[in-house]
């Protein structure tokens, strides 16, 4: 991968994780007003329709019948549903904190099954990021389980399950795109699977869609922003995974924590309350900056070393 490609892929990953961080915050806000399954069904339906129109020239119909593409869709469904439920039982910050465990699963699975070499500094970056996430988890007490509460535990457990599915999704999508499928088909199939699943869940749980008939101007803007974020974040995520080494993409998950902390405070009123939490955020942000800088410097050196051989 040359330097220009690295910068491009890193930018895609940053945009993707920023969008997905905003997705969690808005989900937490909108789920309290609208039927969750119905809301996501509409959001992903919008994403699917826009995707078909915008990416129609890249669609290969024969790819849509491949088992590998459908398998990716099912993994995306499990990841999305577990995360959606987690958001309703714990804070947006906690969802992202437990999402930071995904790099461990991604790196481990990639190393074992794909024999993928870890970028230099990945282990240290994962360790420090995890330490920072641990510090941000909040207040400590004599009986932390009692202080957290059963609902929070359920939410964090589901967030952890979602992180595992995220790791699998990153690896499978990356591998599938490299060997046979293009990113457009993978994205559209994932989105179609999510649309079908959420419409079905909304029907089975007998959700009331009446709130959608009583939206004001502010809610229309929020819903529009939410739907756009679903499309942009989802689409760019597939392309980012196809371009970025899976370990690099996973370490950038820590960026979502920063996004959620900033917008979670403004939109949801979630805020840090202790010195330890601020220290945790500092560690996450610092290690992310160091890791990106280190990888870019290594690539620049490699490019410079190759130039004499290209003459």
- Per-position b or e across 103-126, b if 16+ CB within 10 A of its CB: bbbbbebbeeeeebebbeebeebb
CA diameter of the chain: 68
pLDDT band at 249 (very low <50, low <70, confident <90, very high): low
Any idea which of 65-74, 89-98, 132-141, 271-280 has the lowest mean pLDDT?
Answer: 132-141
For the cut 70, the answer to whether the pLDDT of residue 298 exceeds it is no
Does the global pTM surpass 0.85? Answer: no
Which pLDDT tens digit goes with each residue over 32-45? 899 999 999 999 99
**What's the pLDDT score for residue 180?**
62
For the cut 80, the answer to whether the pLDDT of residue 129 exceeds it is no
pLDDT band at 288 (very low <50, low <70, confident <90, very high): confident
**What's the pLDDT score for residue 126?**
77
């Amino acid at each position: 991968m040359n330097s220009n490609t690295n910068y491009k892929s890193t930018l895609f990953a940053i945009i993707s994780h920023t969008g997905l961080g905003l997705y969690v915050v808005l989900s937490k806000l909108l789920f309290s007003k609208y039927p969750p399954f119905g809301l996501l069904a509409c959001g992903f339906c919008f994403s699917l329709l826009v995707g078909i129109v915008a990416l129609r020239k890249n669609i290969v119909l024969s790819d849509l019948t491949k088992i590998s593409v459908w398998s990716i869709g099912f993994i995306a469904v499990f990841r999305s549903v577990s995360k959606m439920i987690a958001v309703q039982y714990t804070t947006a910050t906690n969802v992202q904190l437990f999402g930071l465990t995904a790099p461990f699963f991604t790196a481990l699975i990639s190393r074992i099954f794909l024999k993928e070499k870890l970028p230099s500094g990945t282990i240290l970056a994962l360790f420090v990021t995890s330490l920072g996430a641990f510090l941000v988890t909040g207040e400590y007490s004599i009986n932390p389980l009692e202080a957290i509460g059963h609902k929070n535990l359920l939410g964090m457990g589901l967030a952890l399950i979602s992180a595992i599915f995220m790791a699998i999704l990153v690896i499978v999508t990356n591998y599938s795109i490299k060997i046979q499928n293009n990113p457009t088909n993978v994205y559209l199939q994932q989105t179609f699977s999510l649309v079908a699943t959420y419409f079905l869940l909304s029907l089975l749980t007998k959700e009331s869609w009446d709130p959608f008939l009583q939206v004001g101007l502010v809610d229309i803007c929020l819903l529009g922003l939410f739907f756009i974020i679903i499309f942009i974040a989802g689409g760019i995520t597939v392309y980012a995974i196809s371009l970025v080494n899976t370990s690099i993409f996973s370490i950038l998950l820590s960026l979502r924590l920063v996004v959620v902390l900033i917008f979670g405070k403004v939109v949801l009123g979630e805020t840090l309350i202790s010195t330890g939490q601020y220290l945790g955020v500092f560690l996450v942000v610092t290690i992310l900056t160091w890791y990106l800088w280190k990888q870019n410097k290594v690539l620049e050196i490699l490019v410079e070393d190759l130039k004499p051989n290209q003459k």
